[in-house]
Amino acid sequence: QVQLVESGGGSVQAGGSLRLSCAVSGSTSSVLAMGWFRQSPGKEREGVACISLEGGYTDYLDPAKGRFTISRDPDKNTVYLHMNLLKSEDSGTYYCAASRSPGLYGCSADVYPYWGQGTQVTVSS
């Protein structure tokens, strides 16, 4: 089993920055890719960014391009999401997820069987 714990959410003014962290524990050797997803009230969950843990390849969905950066620290079994130039529409619950597949598959949630509990991000304009 794989356990994921997100942290780093909070409230920030529009234009500000946040760094989300996702600590991975358990059967970490089976995790080959990680992703960040978000969900706002009344909206479907959407992918934000994903990263392969072996090659460090990344993929970003439209909401994140140019503003967010996903990174990993193998020594800490932690994946980060650096978010800059935040907008009110970035508000929502952010989830990290782990995949046993090395491919990024466009950050499709279908390949992520392990999920964290989420961390709340609120951006005020």
Q: Where are the beta strands (DSSP E) in 53-118?
A: 58-60, 68-73, 78-83, 92-99, 114-115
Q: How high is the pLDDT of residue 55?
A: 83
CA 51 – CA 33 distance, rounded (Å): 6
CA 71 – CA 19 distance, rounded (Å): 11
The yes-or-no verdict on residue 102 having pLDDT over 90 is no
Closest by CA to 78, choosing from 2, 10, 6, is 6
Rg (CA), the chain: 13
Percent of the chain whose predicted confidence (pLDDT) is above 90: 88
In contact, 6 and 117? CB cutoff 8 Å: yes
pLDDT tens by residue, 48-81 = 999 999 888 999 999 899 999 999 999 999 999 9
| Confidence grade of residue 106 (pLDDT, cut at 50, 70, 90) | confident
Q: Which two tokens stand for residue 75?
A: 């020594």
Q: How high is the pLDDT of residue 113?
A: 96
Residue type, 51: I
